[in-house]
Amino acid sequence: MAVSSRSGITILFVTIVVCTFILFPILQVVVERDPQLSAYDDDKNDISQFRESLENGDGTSYNVSAILSNPAVLEEVGNPSEALLIIAGTESPYTLLELEIIVEFIADGGSILVFGDFDYSNTIANLFGIKFVKHKLWDQNYKGNVSLIETTANVDGQPYAVLLNEPVAIQSAPIPPSAWNSNAGYLNPYQTIFMTTSHQSYIDLDDDGEISDADEAAPLSGFTLGTRFDMKSGGENLGSAVFISDSSVLINDMLDRSQNEQFLLALVESLIGNKGLILFDESRHTQDSFGASLFQAALGFYFLLSGDTVVLQVIRLNVLIAVIIFTMAMSLRQPEPKRWYHIFDIRKPRPFRSYGHNMDNGILALQGVLLERIRLKYQIYEFDEKSRKDRLELLPKLVKSYNIPLDDDFKMLLGAPTKIGPNDLRSIAKKLSAW
């Protein structure tokens, strides 16, 4: 059946109205996610303080900027040997075309610094025959919390004390044969491992939250946490690629811990000297709204379709429409990386605010607070990610093994809550606040 021009205009108008006033607001709510690891936001999980340290460092002169569309802008870098691309926590994989652009950038002398863990950084790491192992890493060298692992990093012979937040191990992996294409001659880089765990560390392969026989124990040299590849061709030094298995080591909440900031600044200087161009790849971070993500995607396609001819203008319009439809579909299907949120603060256990108007709710609340205080005070990793009920079942065994002293009131709260009256509840709440 033929469609008249008037009907076509009506259908187009209705489609625009539905997308603007119904579909777009729905997706705005459904797809919305707080941005992280942005060099231009000031949240505790962003990296703006690291960017400011690069811009205002003593004895250095860096031109700091960002990639908002896609890595294609690397082709416009005038002097790649004085340029560094920083990739922190990729929330979506790189395409083959984008990987080819990054490879060409390294072949021209550029350097990349990749911070990854439970994200999509393996799309780049696999190019160098390594992978980020996406399982919990345990190490005897931790500080305050088993997720905070202490280690030492060496940069040009200088050691730095580094504190990592829930890192993963780096291990060997097959290299995709098509990734390098004509640049296959650069596949024999010189590798240097500059940061490892202790020899008493494990990879929780079965993800059960405990160290067991099914887990992988570290060799005497420990698991790799940081490695560097210096590319060479015919005796000529090309670019470098550095991989660190913790995307939160440079966030605002971690930068001033141990010698993290000194280590990162020394690493940057080791790669490009005390001056040059530094680019943060912001194109791989989910924006705070569907509209911002849509604009970011459209901007990337427009960059690839640069030109002023009428044909290209028509192509841009059609590509933009396709991007809108594709983004609507993929935004709901793209899985969020596991363990993405590095949010905790061992210094601020959840306070007891009230026991409410219901005795049972008050007892449950006090039990939860006491168990959390016990976990923090005695560093009981067995309680991590366990419910209140599961913690109560484990408690008798752990009290004995950790030699935890509990007075009669606390024992009654945890073991015989039915004997607690309103006055007892108030007394226990005051005692717990001071414990």
List pLDDT tens digits, range 297-329. 554 554 444 444 444 455 556 667 777 777 666
In the chain, what percentage of residues exceed pLDDT 70? 75
> Would the pLDDT of 40 be above 80?
yes
Q: Tell me what the pLDDT averaged over the chain comes to.
A: 80
Q: What is the dihedral of CA 72, 75, 77, 78, to 10 degrees?
A: -170
Cβ-in-10-Å burial (0-12, 13-18, 19+) of 172 comes to exposed
| pLDDT value at residue 311 | 45
> Would the pLDDT of 89 be above 80?
yes
The SS3 assignment for 177 reads: coil
Lowest mean pLDDT of 42-51, 128-137, 304-313, name the range.
304-313
List pLDDT tens digits, range 161-195. 999 999 999 999 988 766 565 554 555 678 999 99
Q: Residues 91, 134: contact at Cβ < 8 Å?
A: no
SS (H, E, C) 394-424: HHHHHHHHHCCCCCHHHHHHHHCHHHCCHHH
| pLDDT value at residue 316 | 59
| Residue ranges of domains in the chain | 10-32+287-333, 48-284, 359-434
The SS3 assignment for 275 reads: strand
List pLDDT tens digits, range 240-268. 999 999 999 999 999 999 999 999 999 99
pTM higher than the cut 0.85 = no
Q: Residues 216, 195: contact at Cβ < 8 Å?
A: no
Class of domain 48-284: alpha beta
Cα–Cα nearest to 135, from 152, 117, 120: 117
List pLDDT tens digits, range 12-28. 677 777 766 666 555 44
Cα–Cα nearest to 115, from 106, 124, 102: 124
| pLDDT value at residue 15 | 75
| pLDDT value at residue 76 | 85
Question: What residue has token string 């009428």?
Answer: 310
Rounded CA separation 11/8 (Å) = 5
Q: What is the mean pLDDT of residues 91-117?
A: 90
Lowest mean pLDDT of 60-64, 82-86, 156-160, 399-403, name the range.
399-403
Q: What is the dihedral of CA 252, 255, 261, 263, to 10 degrees?
A: -130
> Would the pLDDT of 87 be above 50?
yes
